[in-house]
């Protein structure tokens, strides 16, 4: 199955990104933090990749996500 993360509909400027395999509307200047908040992820330890490039936790607030990106966010679970 091929994802089409960036698509504009006829007469519309709707642009999408893919987050964990699901489409999400993209906005100019969107950051990793915006995606985390939009998805309501509240896990204390998250790992994020934008187009297969890891994003350090200290950059979540200022790392912008380009239109058409493929974003993966996973939460780390500890145990023993």
Number of structural domains, the chain? 1
DSSP the chain: ---------TT----EEEETTEEEE--TT-BHHHHHHHTT---SSEEEEETTEEE-GGGTTT-B--TT-EEEEEE-----
Q: 29 in a domain, yes or no?
A: yes
Q: 44 in a domain, yes or no?
A: yes
Residue 69 pLDDT: 97
Residue 17 pLDDT: 97
Residue 23 domain boundaries: 16-75
**The CATH number of the domain where 45 resides is what?**
3.10.20.30
Q: 10 in a domain, yes or no?
A: no
Interval 28-75: pLDDT, tens: 999 999 999 999 999 989 999 999 999 999 999 999 999 999 999 999
pTM to 2 decimal places: 0.79
């Amino acid at each position: 199955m091929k994802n089409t993360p960036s698509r504009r509909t006829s007469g519309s400027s709707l642009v999408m990104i893919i987050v964990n395999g699901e489409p999400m509307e993209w906005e100019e200047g969107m950051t990793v933090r915006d995606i985390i908040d939009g998805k309501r992820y509240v896990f204390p330890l998250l790992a994020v990749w934008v187009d297969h490039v890891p994003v350090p936790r200290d950059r979540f607030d200022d790392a912008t996500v380009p239109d058409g990106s493929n974003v993966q966010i996973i939460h780390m679970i500890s145990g023993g």
